[in-house]
Structure formats: structure tokens, C-alpha cells
Amino acid sequence: MKPPIDWNDLDPETLRRILVELRVAVDDVDGVVLDMFTRKRRRSLGRAQHKQLYREARKTLLQILEHLIPPPPPPSAGAAASH
């Protein structure tokens, strides 16, 4: 897993690459779901492939989001002492 992004030191190319990765993962989920709702005779994928591809795309989305979410701030000394 990648470390969280430093939003203060984010260059446009890095942001562009992250957004492209995000778009690809969303397109993958969309493709799988659309195929799942297609009539059985017209589907390109089988049930096992739906499950596998959906899980892989979901995992990728979650990894990207974890990479984008900043870490929580450290607890302050005053807050810890009051409990």
C-alpha cells in the first residue's frame, strides 16, 4: 500500500496519474456491473469472472482512496490528559 499523499507537496502530474487510476477502476466496476445486468445469453463474462473482476476493481478503488485520505492528526497533549 502506498503512503498517504502529502497534499502540500502534490504536483499536477501525480494528481493526474491518481485520477487516471481512479477512472480506470471505476470503469472496471462499471463494465462488470453492466455485464452482470445483461441478459444471460448476451453476457461476456460468467458469474465467477464477475465476482473476481468486481473484487479486484473494488480493492483497487479502496487502495486509491486510502492513498488519498490524509492520516489523522496526532492527539494533542491536553486532550489525552483530560480523559
* DSSP string covering 17-64: HHHHHHHHHHHHHHHHHHHHTS-GGG-SS-HHHHHHHHHHHHHHHHHH
- What confidence category does residue 79 fall into, taking pLDDT thresholds of 50, 70 and 90? low
Q: Give the pLDDT of residue 14.
A: 86
Q: Give the pLDDT of residue 8.
A: 79
pLDDT digits (tens, 9 = 90+) for 5-32: 777 788 889 889 989 999 999 999 999 9
Predicted TM-score (pTM) of the model is: 0.71
Residue 80 predicted with pLDDT over 60: no
